[in-house]
Amino acid sequence: MSGSESGREASIPQRPSRDLDQIREDGKLRALIAYSATSYFLYKGQTMGYEYELLRRLANHLELELEIRVARDLDQMLEILQKGQVDIVAHGLAITQERKKEVAFADYLYLTKQVLVQRKPVNWRSLTRDQTLDYLVQDPVQLIGDTVSVRKNSSYLRRLENLSREIGGSIIIDTLEGNLSTDEIIKQVVDKKIKYTVADRNLARINASNYPILDISVPVSFSQRIAWALPKGADKLLEATNDWIASEKRQTDFYVIYNKYFKNSRSFNRRIKSEFYSLNKDQISAYDTLIKKEARELGWDWRLLASLVYQESRFNPEATSWTGAQGLMQLMPATAEELGVEDRSDPVQSIDGGTKYLSRLVEAFATVPDSIQRIKFALASYNCGYNHVKDAQKLAAVKGLNEYCWDGNVDSMILALSYPKNYYHEVVEHGYVRGIEPYRYVNQIFDRYQHYTALLD
């Protein structure tokens, strides 16, 4: 996504924003993010992205659950923030005087410049460098009377307007819609749909690594600070975010994450050519068709079942655990035999067997009235065994908790079964279980499922 995107023409009425105290009371940090090749995407079933990884670290630092909202129109990001619908815009925004009147900015994450993105001649590989340069714009003054395409409410547009004044001649600005990311606009240059665009240098550079026909050598701005936006008035959240940024900048991981998305061209190029890259296709794995079929029979959203398969095997049919579980659904030998699965490494047999077992587990919790809670009981049982989950239910009843609700009730008792005073309790029949494993298992599957539903139809 562009580091210099998202601005507005008119001031939006501010609604009272939540500050850190209200956010902590709610327990959720609501973040707005862009769906793009560097910000937030799926690759081989894994949620990735520069802003996404940093957001996760921020939420963990603040001990908050992360609730992500995907921006469908990048021009409206600050408007959504000002309306109080999110707590933070985790998007690379150039800090400008205009924007500072509307929102607060956290400390900058990195510095970059805006550059002109243009095509080299088709036969550039057979030309000398001087011949190639003669074909290209080498100085912004050469843009007078020519057309540059940028998003209509981006700081790129503001920069082009200022540049026109600085060079004493008009640059024709072709304004594009807000649902286009910088990556998509750069691709339009590659495809000859537009002649020029402007992009932040780090974004232009990583895209040019995949499209060598692009030239990104001409700067059109001085260095700019790129930061996330917060609502005015959320002073405690701003202070906490700035403290976190200062701490992150002292860590190696902060720079490793940046390099991963903006400098590792080999990884970038491999991703964007993959069938299992969500910006290419609404596809999670090679087994989506099979997963959709089995999910229909199970009565589940296919993306939830896909999240479970990823959790079990990362879509590797040859995966084998130290316990002896094998295949996409990590079936144990005895379970596979009972389900009629002869070859656990066969994707069809594994998913068919695994979903049959899940169906049995869901049915075993038929007394749980809420369908989502019933699924969570089934998932926990798939991970640690039905009997341990039944023990956790019994313990919940004894402790005055709701034995038919996983969240905040039985899940706390599955954790409690890691301690002698609980697994030796008279109602517990099957003893110790390392409760953190099913607890995390359920949470991670549902967390990933939320990302899958946000990014895939």
Distances (CA, A) of 19 to 13, 24, 87, 89, 234: 18, 9, 8, 14, 5
Q: Which of 5, 51, 294, 312 is catalytic?
A: 312
Tell me how crowded residue 421 is: count the other CB atoms within 10 A of its CB: 7
What distance in Å separates the CA atoms of residue 390 and residue 295, rounded to the nearest whole number? 25
Distances (CA, A) of 287 to 179, 316, 319, 321, 348: 30, 10, 15, 20, 9
Tell me how crowded residue 97 is: count the other CB atoms within 10 A of its CB: 6
Nearest alpha carbon to residue 119 among 200, 194, 205: 194
Q: Tell me how far the alpha carbon of residue 204 is from its chain's centroid.
A: 21
What distance in Å separates the CA atoms of residue 375 and residue 371, rounded to the nearest whole number? 6
Reduced to 3 states (helix: H, G, I; strand: E, B; else coil), residue 336 is helix
Tell me how crowded residue 153 is: count the other CB atoms within 10 A of its CB: 23
Cβ atoms of 46 and 307 within 8 Å: the answer is no
State which H helix or E strand residue 439 sits in: helix 436-455
Cβ atoms of 59 and 66 within 8 Å: the answer is yes
* Residue 19 identity (one-letter amino acid): D
Is residue 363 part of the annotated active site? The answer reads: no
Angle between helices 201-208 and 252-262 (to 10 degrees): 50
Nearest alpha carbon to residue 433 among 416, 418, 412: 418
Distances (CA, A) of 200 to 93, 179, 322, 355: 10, 18, 47, 47
Beta-strand relationship, 114-119 and 214-219:
antiparallel
What distance in Å separates the CA atoms of residue 156 and residue 180, rounded to the nearest whole number? 14
What distance in Å separates the CA atoms of residue 6 and residue 182, rounded to the nearest whole number? 11
What distance in Å separates the CA atoms of residue 191 and residue 227, rounded to the nearest whole number? 31
Distances (CA, A) of 274 to 189, 277, 391, 457: 21, 5, 45, 18
Tokens of 371: 């369908």
Q: Catalytic amino acids?
A: 312
